[in-house]
Amino acid sequence: MHISKRILIFSFLCFATLAQAAEYKAPRGPDGVHPDLNGIWQAINEAHFDLEIHMASAAMQLRDGPQGPVPTKNVLPMGAVGSVPPSLGVVVGGKIPYKPEALAKKQENKKNWADLDPEVKCYLPGVPRATYMPYPFQIFQGENSLFIAYQYAGAVRDIFSEDPGPAPVDSWMGQSVASWDGDTLVLTVTGLNPQTWLDRAGSHHTEQMQVVERYTPTGPNHLQYEATITDPEVFTEPWKISMPLYRRMEPDAQLLDFKCVEFVEELLYGKWRRHPLD
């Protein structure tokens, strides 16, 4: 299917989802005013690999082979586990509006994915990446409080209900301030550590990035998620991603312990052993 047609289909689906959201009236939350967003949610898409439209490939890192591109030596043993599935993308409009020099850095990041991606080292994923990683997260909503916990790496966000001013220091998950636009929860996120990536394809940002997230109930078990990303150092204009989030429906659904730091200690520090492993 031609890429322009894929973008048209994606835009139509977004419009249809928003139309459905306009008709749905969610149950009220603990404050009796705003919709109840409590629950365990998860994205089901390929944005984790690459936010943009992309075809399947043998790996994120490729080199020239005898019959075409093949995985680089360090990811070759991963086989199909290291491959990249295809996706229609979640970027509204299809392409991230990179500045030329920022696009070159993104492409260099992708060529060195296994060495540079902070996910490989179990660093906290940042926003918005934490939302569409292939792991659940939980929204805790009280009368005057919001908290989001992520299964991956035990990441959390304690969300301000009133703007405290600029973040005192940049952090992996940033500073989030909540407001409401009708039944849509709006989170404005600043103070993000520039070391985080937006996907495995090397999409990056600086400390100037601001993310405005929107969570809109579209049905009893669905949220429509949007994030508008602004970073004048990297992008020529603000741009947006859009996707549905699905409620985990298992009767015993819960976040489990996935503090993966201990799983990468050998990768990060093994060379400093008195007798390093092969």
pLDDT of residue 183: 97
pLDDT of residue 256: 96
Spatial separation of the C-alpha atoms in residues 263 and 270, rounded to whole Å: 12
3-state SS, residue 79: helix
Q: How large a percentage of the chain has pLDDT more than 70?
A: 92
In DSSP terms, 84 is beta-bridged to: 57
Mean of pLDDT values over 202-220: 98
Picking from 8, 230, 248, 10, the residue whose alpha carbon sits closest to that of residue 128 is: 230
Contact 159, 142 (CB under 8 A): no
Contact 180, 146 (CB under 8 A): no
pLDDT of residue 178: 97
Tens-digit pLDDT profile for residues 107-166 = 999 999 999 999 999 999 999 999 999 999 999 999 999 999 999 999 999 999 999 999
CA angle (87 as vertex; 215, 139 as ends), nearest 5: 25
Tens-digit pLDDT profile for residues 238-271 = 999 999 999 999 999 999 999 999 999 999 999 9
Tens-digit pLDDT profile for residues 78-113 = 999 999 999 999 999 999 999 999 999 999 999 999
Picking from 95, 3, 86, 100, the residue whose alpha carbon sits closest to that of residue 45 is: 86
Mean of pLDDT values over 189-212: 97
Q: Domain map of the chain by residue range? A: 3-53+88-272
Q: What is the mean pLDDT of the chain?
A: 93
Neighbours of 221 (CB within 10 A): 13
Q: How large a percentage of the chain has pLDDT more than 90?
A: 89
Domain 3-53+88-272: homologous superfamily in CATH: Calycin beta-barrel core domain (2.40.128.20)
